[in-house]
Structure 1
Amino acid sequence: MLERCRTAGARVVAIDGPSGSGKSTLADALLRAWPGPAPELVRLDDVYPGWNGLEPAGAAVAHELVARHARGAVGRWGRWDWAAERVASIERSRPGRVLIVEGCGAFAATAPVETLAVWVEASPRVRKRRALERDAGAFDPYWDLWERQWRRYVARTAPARRADVRVRVADD
């Protein structure tokens, strides 16, 4: 996949897929293996404005970060404080580096520009187990709410069809 990023000349890489599929793990591996100056990684988990925030985060990142990045301007995004339920800080992104946007809804967040689109998937059983274990119980009461948003996003945008690269995580 790294070779695909380099040969495509991607300035923006989007890593999308359902919760618990392995997007963050893949983004971390891509960042570690990237030759030359490291890309900037924006995790949508840091942007979603609460548990109902999948769509609003995508729209905000598309407009305030990705579109600006593509024009060579400084982009910005709000870092969400999950405990305080408010924006904690405004982060700035300087142009010139490759931008990786990772998270549920990343394809919508990067829609304004040419993107190398990476789709990550795993079985529903594996996804749910991994997501709930990862967050040590914090995600448990919100799984169904998040899953409904995810399904609406998939029904509305058919994101898997946009994928340039598909990664299927094997059952453990």
Structure 2
Amino acid sequence: MPSRSSTSASRTVSFEAAVRDVVALVAERAADRLVIDGRSGAGKTTLARRVAAEWPSTGAPQVVSLDELYPGWGGLREGGALARALVLEPHHRGEAGAYRRFDWARGTFAGPLVVVDPSLPLVVEGCGALAETVAELADASLWMDGPEAQRRRRALVRDGGGFERHWSMWADQEDAHIARERPDRLAQLALSVI
């Protein structure tokens, strides 16, 4: 079971240093499940892909993004709960998890079933991913943040401006998640990425 103790103080690092630190954490903990939480635009998705490419043990991990599980712009909390129930809990039990991706254009879960193979390592990333009920399922966990102006710029460029009108509402949900769950304190590693 992972340690519940962590430092709540974020260390400021470059993106490359963050990748090295997370790969080292995964290796040190012989992790099979990594959970990455953090503010929007902090670089969670990019970091998850890089860590997956440099995974220190046999078998490349599957990466599940909460962007596939949020039921719309008001669904940060629900996305985290779905990740726990449909992906992390089954993987922890050695069973296949499965979910359908949320179709943001149609506003519904649709498409083929995505199956999560329990024999492969797993990385789950997204705002709201780390909560008290998830910490016990994660072998390693990370909290990511960064300067708000930088995060906002990255998020808006990434999404082609579609996120701009939802930025404040989403930030309010992030604030509520942070106040409720304290993911920065649950995580074994807390980084501010510049």
Correspondence for 1:144? 168
Correspondence for 1:34? 55
Correspondence 1:83 to 2:143: no
Correspondence for 1:110? 134
Write the distance in 2 (CA, Å) between the matches of 1:70 and 1:161: 22
Write the distance in 2 (CA, Å) between the matches of 1:58 and 1:67: 12
Q: Give 5+ residue unaligned stretches, structure 2.
A: 1-21
Find the residue that maps to 1:5 and give its secondary structure.
helix
Task: Compute the TM-score of the two structures, normalised by the length of structure 2.
Answer: 0.83
Correspondence for 1:155? 179
Post-superposition CA distance 1:78-118 (Å, at most 9, x none)? 31000011001331112111110011011138345143111
Correspondence for 1:56? 78
What amino acid does structure 1 have at the position aligned with 2:60? A
What amino acid does structure 2 have at the position aligned with 1:10? A
Q: Give 5+ residue unaligned stretches, structure 1.
A: none
Looking at both structures, which has the greater relative contact order when contacts are Cα pairs under 8 Å and sequence separation is at least 6?
Answer: 2
Correspondence 1:122 to 2:143: no
Task: Compute the TM-score of the two structures, normalised by the length of structure 1.
Answer: 0.93
What amino acid does structure 2 have at the position aligned with 1:22? G
Deviates more, 1:109-118 or 1:74-83: 109-118
Correspondence for 1:45? 67
Q: Is the 8 A contact 2:135 2:186 kept in 1?
A: no
What amino acid does structure 2 have at the position aligned with 1:42? V
Q: Is the 8 A contact 1:15 1:119 kept in 2?
A: yes
Correspondence 1:17 to 2:38: yes
Write the distance in 1 (CA, Å) between the matches of 2:84 and 2:55: 24
- Identical positions, percent: 38
Write the distance in 2 (CA, Å) between the matches of 1:101 and 1:116: 11
Correspondence 1:166 to 2:175: no
Which contiguous aligned blocks of 4+ residues in structure 1 show a shift greater than 4 angstroms? none
Post-superposition CA distance 1:91-147 (Å, at most 9, x none)? 111211111001101113834514311111101111111111111111011111111
